[in-house]
Amino acid sequence: MSHNPKELNNNIEYFKTQNLDLLISSRYMRTSKILNWSLKRKILSFLSNKLSKFLLKVPVSDYTNGYRIYSLQAAKFISTNCGKIGDGYIVLSEILLQLYYNNFIIGEIDTIFVNRVRGTNNVNFIEILKSLLGLYKIWKIKLKLNRF
């Protein structure tokens, strides 16, 4: 429940009116907010998104938020072309790269993201290492696509 379910109707409407293939609820737009994250978590997320943007060059601000809406066409493409890099958070960046460089229409919308009050955060040292290795693999895919 990090995203308010009340945002969903507005997100779906925006998705439809903009004729998108992917809509990301972005935590890093000017009008977005992140509530109740520790400084460590904010820094880690911010730096991972900046590194992803630097390497992959997809023009979005939030590579790692999983609160997304996909078109049927995008979902079919993802199911046959993505998931080869690894699991966890890195698959979100792989999907983003593949959709962007295969000319799918991607948009972002602001969100209010609240740190979970139940459950645990899955980010640990091993997950960070896996994500860095995965990001390197995705960057290699980008190079194969001749997209500098």
Q: Are 105 and 19 in contact (CB under 8 A)?
A: yes
Q: What's the rounded mean pLDDT across residues 16-26? A: 97
Give the global pTM: 0.87
Q: Which residue has the higher pLDDT, 122 or 65?
A: 65
**Residue-range domain boundaries for the chain:** 7-144
**CA triplet 97, 98, 102: central angle to 5 degrees?**
115
Name the CA radius of gyration of the chain, rounded: 15
How far, CA to CA in Å, does 11 sit from each of 7, 70, 78, 88, 133? 6, 11, 21, 24, 32
